[in-house]
Amino acid sequence: MTLLSPSLRAQIPDRDVRVILTTCISQAMGDLDINDPLSMTKRYQKHKPWRVFGTSKLELGLFAKEFQRRLLAIPRKDNMPNNVRVNVVNPGFMRSPSTKRVLSFGSLFGLLIYILLLPILWIFLKSPHRGAQSFFYALMCPDFISLDGGNFISECAIYRPARKEFEDAELQKELFDNTAKLIEQIEKDSAYKRKKAESTTKKNHKQNEKTEKDKNKENKFDSIKLQGSTQKDDVPLFPEFDSNGKPSNNENSNKSTSKTKSGKKNKKGSRKV
């Protein structure tokens, strides 16, 4: 929500801007820890999923009220009234995957109980279409234009939550600030780890390229060395004789060429005389 704050405040004054957040009745079972709002030091309570889910919904409602308060506290540059309204909608119990998750306790045995009781639950649980009516009411009702926001809506009407935390503005401010600082620290740590992993990957890539080049150089050197050794092995110790000890053809051809050259020289000498 803090990332959306600049764009929300920059909307033209005659535009009706509404932000809708979703909560449920499980917020009444939430356990708020203002020093650890993201439950970083706690283990997930797998046998009490409604408590974890309720805590997140409770904090979301508190964030909505504090976010609306901060939007109203910052004046617009054109001195027009703030036109952003942040409201929280409770659609009630519906036949949805989240309801199935809560009622089944997140276990296979609970899921089996949920399936067996589904015909009875079907009577008391809303359809998603009926649950969406409260969202349409919060989005389209003209009454919210004149209200300040931070309202809780259920069954197409505004209601007042029973939790006392919703009346404590100081608690909401402290929770908002602590959560923002914690998220900022997590983002910095993740960015540092990401950059460190990228540098390590680049370093390993360069090291692999260097080792590959060294191997290629060694292979080329070995091939050149092998070619030189084979050429040395092909040169005979006495080139004028072949392997059988007889004079080679090269030697005979050299002799014949030498004789023809000497004969030509003798003929030239006789002509001059």
Catalytically annotated residues = 57
Q: How distant, in Å, are the alpha carbons of 41, 257, 263, 264, 266 from that of 271?
A: 117, 21, 13, 11, 9
Contact 171, 179 (CB under 8 A): no
Contact 137, 153 (CB under 8 A): yes
> How close are the terminal C-alpha atoms of the chain, in Å?
119
DSSP letter string over 68-102? Answer: HHHHHHS--TT-PPP-EEEEEE---SBSSHHHHHH
Contact 53, 102 (CB under 8 A): yes
Strand, coil or helix: what is 22? Answer: strand
Sign of CA dihedral 177, 182, 187, 188: positive
- Rounded CA-CA distance 50/28 in Å is 10
Structure tokens at 197: 């992993």
